[in-house]
């Protein structure tokens, strides 16, 4: 079975984020993924917010999926936004997001994790 373009992009972002992102931070990753999905007219992430809320929070949430993943790194992200993440938290949130997206899409994370 051939992988979707989104899975291919996620694998590329995981392996070499500097090749695709203007800066290596969680907000840039989220914007890139949102832009890719919108530009492709893809519905692959329909339902992702509810799924990730269940996986990360163990409950439903009204937050955007990017904030839900960031909440695992800093509870302040829910109140103040993604800019409150330290560089280390941003890096962990980025890795977690890619891993969660790959799991949601039915693809396995790369072996380097």
| SS3 state at 97 | helix
The whole-number average pLDDT for the span 43-62 is: 94
What SS3 string covers 18-83?
Answer: HHCCCCCCHHHHHHHHHHHHHHHCCCCCCCHHHHHHHHHCCCCCCCCHHHHHHHCCCCCHHHHCHH
- Give the per-residue pLDDT at 77: 55
pTM over 0.75: yes
Model confidence at 10: pLDDT above 60: yes
What pLDDT sits at residue 72?
A: 83
Q: Which residues contact residue 12 at a Cβ distance below 8 angstroms, ignoring those fewer than 6 apart?
A: 19, 20
pLDDT band at 82 (very low <50, low <70, confident <90, very high): low
Calculate what percentage of the chain has a pLDDT beyond 90: 67
Kindly report the CA angle at 89 between 97 and 33, in degrees rounded to 5?
30
């Amino acid at each position: 079975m051939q992988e979707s373009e989104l899975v291919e992009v996620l694998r590329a972002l995981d392996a070499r984020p500097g090749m695709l992102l203007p800066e290596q931070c969680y907000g840039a990753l989220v914007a890139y993924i949102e832009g890719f999905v919108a530009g492709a007219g893809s519905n692959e992430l329909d339902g992702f917010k509810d799924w990730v809320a269940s996986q990360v929070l163990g409950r439903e949430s009204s937050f955007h999926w990017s904030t839900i993943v960031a909440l695992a790194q800093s509870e302040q992200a829910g109140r103040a936004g993604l800019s409150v993440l330290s560089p280390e938290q941003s890096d962990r949130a980025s890795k977690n997001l890619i891993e969660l997206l790959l799991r949601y899409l039915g693809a396995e994370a790369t072996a380097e994790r």
